Structures are given as C-alpha cells and as structure tokens.
Amino acid sequence: MSASLFIDKHLDLLSKERDAEIGRTSLIFSKCGPKLLEQKGLALNGLGVASIGVGLGNKTLIELERPSAYHTVTTLPPHTFRPGDLASIEENHVVPTRQSRKSIKSTDASGRDKTMPTASQVSDSRIVIAVDPSHSDLSDFELPERCRVLKLANSITYDRMEGALRQLKGLIGSPTLSETGVPMRSRLIEVLLGLAMPSRGPTVHSMTFFDNSLNDSQKTAVMFALESVEVACIHGPPGTGKTHTLIEIIRQLTSITPVNPTALRLLICGASNLSVDNILERLLALPAPSHGPRLRVTRIGHPARVIAHEGALNATLETQADRSDQAALVRDVKVELETILNVLSGKGKGAKTPRGLERKKMWEEVRELRKESRRRERGVVSTVLQGSQVVLSTCHSSGGHQLHNQEFDVVIIDEATQALEAVCWIPIFKAKKLILAGDPKQLPPTVLSLRGHVSLDQYSPASNVDVLTSTLGNGDPLPRPNEAPGADDSENEPGPGNPSGSVIEADNVPGARAFGSEAAQSFCYRGLTLPRTLELTMFERLEIMYGPAIKKMLTVQYRMHTKIAEFPSKTMYGSMLTTHPSVATHLLRQLPNVVVSSEEDAQEILGTPVVFFDTAGCEYFERLEGDSDEGSRCNENEATIVKQWVATLVAMGVNPSQIAIITPYQAQVSLLTSLLRSTHGPELEIGTVDGMQGREKEAVIISLVRSNDKREVGFLKEERRLNVAMTRARRHLCVVGDSSTVQHGSKYLKDWLIWLEENADVRYAGLD
C-alpha cells in the first residue's frame, strides 16, 4: 500500500539522518580531547556545583559555575550551549583517566535514552543542567567536586519524529472504522496521505477583516484558509506579510463570526523558537477586543528559549503555572525537595553529607516528594492549558508531556518549508485541520545524511570544524542533492520546486478511484510522492500531490525596492511578486540618518538600488581553507572590496546596524569578521545565508567568493540559497563576484549575471 510504503521510506531516511547526526558527534568526541572540545565550544571544563534546585516537571536543576578557586576568570569561555541542548555531566580529572568516576549522561550510541539531561539556562558565568527525575543515574548520585559538561547529539527529536511516523503507520494499517463505527483516523490524516481528497466548506464571498490593511492576496489567503476543511497552504515569498496573514487567520478562527460559527482552539507551531515567538509577540501586541475577553494564549517551551520580552515570558506555561492559585501548593513540596537534595549532594547548610541508612531513607523521602509534586504540578499545568484558546510551541515541543491528550481544532505550522515532514506530524495528530505557511523557494530543512555515509575518513580535522559550525547554525551549508558531482538537475525535479522525491502514480494508489466529489473538483490528484531525501517538505509534497489548488500565494511584497525584487520575482515566483508602492522606490538616500554631501554621491551610491562589482579578469582567486576539498573557501580580494564598500556606505551615514554582509562560505565570514568587526562593531551583521533567512536589512552586500580557472561554483548553484541572499535587502543590494566563474554554474546563475549586467550599476572591481 502506497501510504505505508511512504511511511517506511520516511522512517528509513530518518534513521539514516539520526545515524549521520550521531556519527558526526561521536566522530568529533573520539577525535578531540577535553581541551579541544572546550575550544570548539562543545565542552565546559573545570566547573563546580553552585546549587541544586527543582524545576517544572520536577527536573533536578544543577547549577554549575567556574569556581574562583580554580579559575582567574569566572565567566564561562565562549561556547555553543543553548537552552534545550542535551548534555552530560562528568567528573573533570586534572590528569585524564580512562574513565570518569560518575557521569550523568544523555544518551548512548543508539541515542534512545528518553530522560536526557538538558541545558536549561545559560548565562555569562553559569549553566544550569536539568535532569529528569526518572534518570537512572540520578537515583543516588554524588556530584564530583570538579565537573565538565559535554554537549551531545539530540536524539529526542528523532524519537518523537519516529514515534509520530510509527503511530501513523499503525493508523494506516487499521480499519477505517472501529467496531463501534468511530473513525480510526481523521479525515485530515487521510488527505495528507492521499487516501481522501481535500474538501472545501461553503465559499466565503465576503467577510469582515479585523485588519483592514490586508492586501487582496492576503485577504484571499485568509478566506481560503477558512474555507479549507482539512488543509490549506499559504505560500509567502519574502516580505509578503506571511505572519501578518497568519495573525488575521488566528483572529478569525478564534472568534465567532458569520463565517466562523464557533470560536476554535488552535495549536500554533513553528519549525524554530524564533518563528513561534514572532507570532507570539504579534498576538500579544493586538489591541484588546471591544467586547469579550482577551485571547488566552500559552507558550510551551522553556522560558530561557523564549524571547526575553516580558509579555512573552508571562505567556509561557511555566510562568502562568507559577502564578496560578494552585502553584503555592507545588512550591511547598519543591522547597522541601530542594532542601533534601542539597543535603544529599553535600551542599546543605552546615550539615554533613549523610551516609548509609540515613542516606537511603532520605532518597525514599525524595521519591515520595517527587511523586506528590508531580501530581500537584500536573493539575496546575492542565488547568492552565484547558483555559488557553491558543497554544504555541515548536513542532518538536508539541510532542512533550504537557500537551499529551490535548486536542485542538486547527494546527498552524509556520516556516513549514523549513521543517522536516516527520516533525510536522507530531502536532498534526492533535488537530482536525492543518494550515501550513512557508516558502518552498527559500532554504529547505538542513539534512545531514545527504552527505552520505558518515565515516572517519570522510572528515579531516578541517572539515570537522565546518560540519560542526553548520549544525550550530553559522557554518557552511551542506551540499544539496542536486549539487553532487554529476547530479542531474532534471532528474531531481519531479514537481514544482522539488528536488527530492518521486511520485507513485495515482492509478497505483488504492482508493484513488473513490476520489472526485464535486467539492474537490479544483484539486487534481497526482499521486503520493515518495521522498528521496528528507528535504522534501510536506508543503511541497502536498503541492505536488494536489496541484496549485492546495495553496494560495501572497503576491505583494513590502520589503524590496522594485529593482531588487525584479529578478527573484521573475525567476522564482513566476513574475507574480509585485512591489507595494510604499517601498517600490525607496533608496538609502531617503534614510533619515544618511548624509548627502554631494548630488553625485547621492546618485551613484545612495540612489542606486543594485550595484555589481564584477571581478572577472582581475584574477582575484578564491582560497581553500584547510587541506582538503571539504574545507571552506574564502576570497581575500573580494573581502577587501566588501570592506571598502561598507566604509563608503558608513561614511555617508548608513548605520552599520542597517547593513548585512552575506556570503555562502564560513571561511569568508571569518575573514570578513576579522577585517570589519573592530571598525564597525557587532551591529554590522556578517553571516552565511542560513542565518539570514526570515530577516532583512536596508543594505545587503553579497560576496560570492568563487573565482577559479575550473569554473567551479559549489553550492552557489543552489537557487533557493541565492534567492534568500538576494531578497534580504530593502533599499540597496551590492553583489561582489567573478562573472567569468559564476556564470558557468547553472542556467539560473547565468541568467542572474546577465540580469545584473543589464540592470545593476556595474563597477570596476580592480583594487588600486
């Protein structure tokens, strides 16, 4: 059966991805000693326990610091720990021994331990590690005087994704109706797997919008989302107000109106905490309704991961639970628990660490108190959640225990084109209707296993750094399948913008003949797509499966000068993307902070939307950092041109915070940072494309780096990556690159260079 074939294929790809992640982590750990790991930001050595507390979910919170007895500087060295990262605590031997005396660790090689310690709070000088009370190592632990914390591969996400797919498989394998005639799986699930056709409710001919400033394409998308019974996709190209539109959809669905007779309960998810918080902030900023209560909103997720905005923090489940009437009862138990735990770990006031029978008795007491605390806490959490009409969380966190058994009418997934399909299934089980928002023409989710089998030989020390940095969100992107040597682009494109799937023909799909109700006429069923890689997102797959009728595209962009938007609109959005008049002609010269010293400067620099420094013929060749082909690349001469252009803009009053430099290569980021940071400070943003998705700047400079005799362009070929890079600029886009190399990369690159030659202010790139 094709649906189960589809799930099996997904499970297989997911298991390869898990292996790639675990392989990479263990590779790094096997190759590096503690000192090197600390230098790489993956370990914090020489820590001592500052205190022990109890947090939400009864987790034991171990607060670690750099004791002044061992360190002259007590602030933590630069590291990559973020709240939510998995960690292990182990003894820090001054002289390395074969094995630590005791460690509380997250996972073994199979990565299946479900009670993993996580970093829960990170500040300049302290890190708090949360350990689940059921963690086996915690039942009677003695924390060593000097510890180290190691960052580990996260396998909870994989467990949840696999769990969701297995649940799905179980539902597909069971009969449609139970013995008592109750449907075993929702219509939504059937539609998503091509077992039933999507349907539409009554056509919405007119309606009242909360936000009257919505443009026509946004209004159409809102109506479409309301009409769709099971699933609707909202395609939001850069700067088209995707979030704006989602907010209106949320307001409509949660209110009683002529087109929405019942106020619905919503689960709002995003691929990242950032996207969830973006929606949360905008919901909290809405004016109070003229009648009726304010929308009750709860954010699931650790407060440390939620943006530090007071309103947002107040919306977290933790804060709300803490402020509820029942919270005092939980607190009493926790205080008692903390006191005993501190005594047990030798941190208790004055008292000696108990031993023997006394110690055993105290642990029994801890167990009882934990049980009691858990019971009371569950009550508080469930009261808060039952009272929330809108719950927000990442897709991954929606699979946590807090939302266990919680049901919703609609789940909305923002940034759905950056989320693996499997992670989307985690919240989907909780709702009857799904709204996906995203842009399949921007970066897909990062998939490690595309690199193939992970082996020790494959990674040189230099490439370790790159691979590592890419996970940390600031490294070179990994090659996509159609960038592999000899990859055939046409073979990788079975559907609209999709590089990674093959379609199971409709005729082969059991049940396909049953399709075709009148309501579904506008959908054409094209078969279920079998993914070749995990890059194929659910959004794209649905578009391939049901055709364009499954989505509505937002077509007016509010970011870029018309000239900047012209090429992306033509090549990526079928010339459908238009520019709102409010930004169509905006230029740097109109910024209040710029200084127009001469009309010539104003015209040539501040009045030019697109500049192209072509280095063809200058012999500004790229350089490979590291000693293998896996290394990252940089281009020193290009970096000098970028430096000069930034200096020119800043001299004219453009603020460094209004400028971003984007380059596909991490080595170029490092080079540019070393050249520019000291002069322009941290406000000048310098990064890879991945870090800039979803963001914008008044002026953007793109350094293409590639310049070589072999005309190799590497992952510059990836259209979606370039599309993101060139659509970040509001008023000014400057491209620095070697046309003689870059134009040979792909048709898209060639077209872009032709477009730049014809439309940009092309400048001589030679340096004096």
Ligand X SMILES: Nc1ncnc2c1ncn2[C@@H]1O[C@H](COP(=O)(O)OP(=O)(O)OP(=O)(O)O)[C@@H](O)[C@H]1O
Distance CA 426, CA 419 (A): 11
* Among the residue ranges 234-242, 340-348, 394-402, 588-596, the one whose residues contact ligand X (CB under 6 A): 234-242
Distance CA 696, CA 608 (A): 18
What tokens does 373 get?
Answer: 């605390």
In angstroms, the Cα distances linking 510 to 3, 6, 167, 198, 416 are: 9, 13, 21, 16, 28
Q: Say which residues have a Cβ less than 8 Å from residue 53's Cβ, sequence separation at least 6.
A: 60, 61, 63, 338
Query: Residue 257 forms beta bridges with which residues?
Result: 260
Q: Is 238 in the site for ligand X (CB under 6 A)?
A: yes
What tokens does 25 get?
Answer: 């982590």
Distance CA 133, CA 333 (A): 15
Nearer to ligand X, 556 or 742 (CB): 556
Q: Nearest distance from residue 446's CB to ligand X, in Å?
A: 18
Q: Nearest distance from residue 559's CB to ligand X, in Å?
A: 6
Q: Is 212 in the site for ligand X (CB under 6 A)?
A: no
User: Among residues 180, 203, 208, 213, which is the contact residue for ligand X, using CB under 6 A?
Assistant: 213
Query: Residue 729 forms beta bridges with which residues?
Result: 697
User: Among residues 58, 88, 215, 228, which is the contact residue for ligand X, using CB under 6 A?
Assistant: 215
Closest CA to 687 of 721, 711, 732: 721
Q: Is 243 in the site for ligand X (CB under 6 A)?
A: yes
What tokens does 660 get?
Answer: 């971003």
Q: Scan residues 487-516 and list those touching ligand X (CB under 6 A).
A: none
Q: Nearest distance from residue 281's CB to ligand X, in Å?
A: 11
Q: Nearest distance from residue 556's CB to ligand X, in Å?
A: 7
User: Among residues 244, 331, 711, 744, which is the contact residue for ligand X, using CB under 6 A?
Assistant: 244
Q: Nearest distance from residue 696's CB to ligand X, in Å?
A: 7
The secondary structure of residue 256, as a DSSP letter, is -
Q: Scan residues 687-716 and list those touching ligand X (CB under 6 A).
A: 694
Q: Is 236 in the site for ligand X (CB under 6 A)?
A: yes
Locate tokens 């994704």: which residue?
161
Radius of gyration of the chain (CA): 27
Q: Nearest distance from residue 279's CB to ligand X, in Å?
A: 9
User: Among residues 209, 363, 515, 558, which is the contact residue for ligand X, using CB under 6 A?
Assistant: 558
Closest CA to 747 of 725, 717, 727, 726: 717
Nearer to ligand X, 218 or 446 (CB): 218
Q: Nearest distance from residue 594's CB to ligand X, in Å?
A: 20
Distance CA 614, CA 704 (A): 10
Q: Nearest distance from residue 657's CB to ligand X, in Å?
A: 17
* Among the residue ranges 220-228, 233-241, 384-392, 425-433, the one whose residues contact ligand X (CB under 6 A): 233-241
Q: Is 219 in the site for ligand X (CB under 6 A)?
A: no
Residue nearest to ligand X (CB): 241
Q: 242-253 and 273-284 helices cross at what angle (nearest 10)?
A: 60
Q: Nearest distance from residue 751's CB to ligand X, in Å?
A: 23
For every residue of 628-675, which 3-state class applies, written as one string?
Answer: CCCCCEECHHHHHHHHHHHHHHHHCCCCHHHEEEECCCHHHHHHHHHH
* Among the residue ranges 57-65, 155-163, 238-246, 655-663, the one whose residues contact ligand X (CB under 6 A): 238-246
What tokens does 482 get?
Answer: 């159609």
What tokens does 145 get?
Answer: 């005087």
Nearer to ligand X, 213 or 678 (CB): 213
Q: Is 569 in the site for ligand X (CB under 6 A)?
A: no
User: Among residues 40, 79, 235, 242, which is the contact residue for ligand X, using CB under 6 A?
Assistant: 242
Q: Is 578 in the site for ligand X (CB under 6 A)?
A: no
Q: Which residues bind ligand X (CB under 6 A)?
A: 213-215, 218, 236, 238-244, 558, 694
